[in-house]
Amino acid sequence: MSDKAIFLDRDDTLIEDPGYISSPEQVNLLTGVPRALIELKALGYKLVVVTNQSAVARGIVTEKVLGEIHKRLERLLAEKNTFLDRIYYCPYHPDGAVKKYRQESELRKPNPGMLLKAAEEMDLDLDQSWCVGNSSSDIGAGLRAGCKTILIDLPSRRQQLKPNDPRPDYKAINIKEVVNIIKKHLRSSIETETETKTEPEVQAEPVKQETEKVPEATAPVEQETEQIPEAVEPASQAAELTPEVAEPVISTEEQQLGQTLEETQAEPTEQVEQEIAVEGTEQLLKSINTQLKNMQRTDMFGEFSIMRLIAGIIQIIVLFCLLISIWFLISPDRQDNSVFIALGFAMVLQLMSLTFYIMHGRK
Ligand SMILES: [Mg+2]
């Protein structure tokens, strides 16, 4: 049985992209990447990096240094208890400065060469696989290979899709959302499978609507020829960078369900996107509600002031003076002077109390 895979772009998908990475020290994982890879592994996917590295053709980095860069990437992931199954890269570019790499290549995204090569070498089922990246060339390669696609639209690197750019099946703001989208897709597929089992007369059409929505005619960002240079064999070197790994952790039943549902899945992309948007809105409203509660608490404490405290104390003393004056009035040896003195104190203190309240109000 073929494996399913997540094809991952490298720069601005797994690691920070400062422009061209020319040394291992420049490799820094993006936030949330190790956790996301662990979760994708647990869902039963092989993790395969497919990356255009025109820096090799431009003479910015050699393949040897590129290998060290990828070893550093794997080491950083290993420190977080996760790993990649394989790394494929394309060193070619038609405008390269290094003659050896100056050529068109079927491996170079948006061409699907790296994905097709990985599928052949690793026995991958492309129909069950996903292609994830932050550029239209990633999406183009994924669609041409027959995968489902997710465009990571980083808020810090937001880019406008051009009219001719291939449209992804889904959009995410980071790799964490990528995991959520894939989980949601698997869940809805399992539910579809369950419904199909309970209603056998209703046969779901074997679907590949999402892929069909983006026809081959949709031009990728960079128009390159479809010819595959015979001399191109970069993947074999990339393969040496990554060891073979253990089978992913996932139950047989879930895997079977996930695979079967892939064939019957027919949920429209727009509906899923709407559900994701609703979830996002609910989270946003909860966040706003929490913020408002915090602000109310802050305001409550903010009303406290020394002047209000003093005014309150004086008010108590006023009440005490009034009680004394009443006591003088009803006492057997009534003394009017004492009553007037107590009432006078009460009036003066009451005025002071009011003054403090007014001063507090104007603060
Ligand atoms: Mg990228």
Cα of 250 to ligand 1 centre, how many Å? 29
Of residues 338 and 72, more confidently modeled:
72
Q: Would the pTM of this model clear 0.85, i.e. be above it?
A: no
Closest CA to 322 of 295, 353, 358: 353
Residues labelled catalytic: 9, 11
pLDDT(278) > 80: no
More confident of the two residues 63 and 199: 63
**What pLDDT is attached to residue 341?**
84
Q: What is the mean pLDDT of residues 309-333?
A: 83
Distance 12 CA to ligand 1 centre (A): 5
Q: How confident is the model at residue 248 (pLDDT cuts 50, 70, 90)?
A: very low
336/37 Cα distance (integer angstroms): 89
* Centroid of ligand 1 to alpha carbon of 356 (angstroms): 64
Tokens at residue 284, please?
């946003």
User: Residue 108, Cβ neighbours under 10 Å: how many?
Assistant: 25
Cα(133) to ligand 1 centroid in Å equals 6
Cβ atoms of 129 and 4 within 8 Å: the answer is yes
Spatial separation of the C-alpha atoms in residues 119 and 125, rounded to whole Å: 7
- ω before 206 within 30° of 0 (cis)? no
CA angle 61, 29, 182 (to 5 degrees): 115
| Range 235-242 average pLDDT | 39
CA of 136 to the centre of ligand 1 (A): 9
For residues 199 and 175, the model is more confident at 175
Please check the confidence at residue 218 and state whether its pLDDT lies above 70.
Answer: no
Residues with Cβ–ion distance below 5 A, ligand 1: 9, 11-12, 134
Rounded mean pLDDT, 147-159: 84
Residue among 363, 360, 244, 251 nearest 312 (CA): 360
Q: How far is CA 170 from CA 7, 18, 144, 151, 204, in A?
A: 15, 26, 16, 6, 22
Q: For residue 351, what are the CA distances in angstroms to 181, 294, 304, 324?
A: 67, 36, 21, 18
> What's the CA gap between 57 and 256, in Å, rounded?
43
DSSP code, position 111: S
Mean pLDDT check: name the lowest of 2-16, 23-37, 53-67, 340-354: 340-354
* Cα 362 to middle of ligand 1, angstroms: 58
State which H helix or E strand residue 45 sits in. Answer: strand 45-52
Least confident of 7-11, 45-49, 253-257: 253-257
pLDDT at position 362:
63
C-alpha 83, offset from chain centre: 19
Distance CA 194, CA 314 (A): 74
Report CA(337)–ligand 1 centroid distance (Å): 92
pLDDT band at 133; cut points 50, 70, 90: very high
Q: How many whole angstroms from 120 Cα to the centroid of ligand 1?
A: 24
* Residue 2 confidence (pLDDT) above 80: yes
Distances (CA, A) of 55 to 20, 223, 237, 258: 7, 19, 16, 38
33 C-alpha vs ligand 1 centroid, how far in Å? 14
pLDDT of amino acid 214: 39
Provide the token pair at 352.
């002071």
Selected residue with higher pLDDT from 337 and 30 = 30
How far is residue 363's CA from residue 358's CA, in Å, rounded to a whole number?
A: 9
The pLDDT of residue 274: 67
Q: Can you give the pLDDT at residue 92? A: 98
Q: Using the 8-state DSSP alphabet, how is residue 169 labeled?
A: S
Residue 176 has pLDDT above 60, yes or no: yes
Dihedral sign (CA 276, 13, 220, 4): negative
Amino acid 147: pLDDT: 98
Q: Where is average pLDDT lowest: 46-55, 219-228, 250-259?
A: 219-228
Q: What is the pLDDT of residues 178-213, one digit of tens each?
A: 999 999 999 988 888 777 766 654 444 443 444 344
Helices (H), 80-156: 113-122, 136-145
C-alpha 209 to ligand 1 mean position (Å): 26
- pLDDT tens-place string over residues 81-99: 999 999 999 999 999 999 9
Instruction: Please state, in angstroms and as integers, the Cα–Cα distance from residue 253 to each residue in 235, 249, 259, following that order.
Output: 33, 12, 10
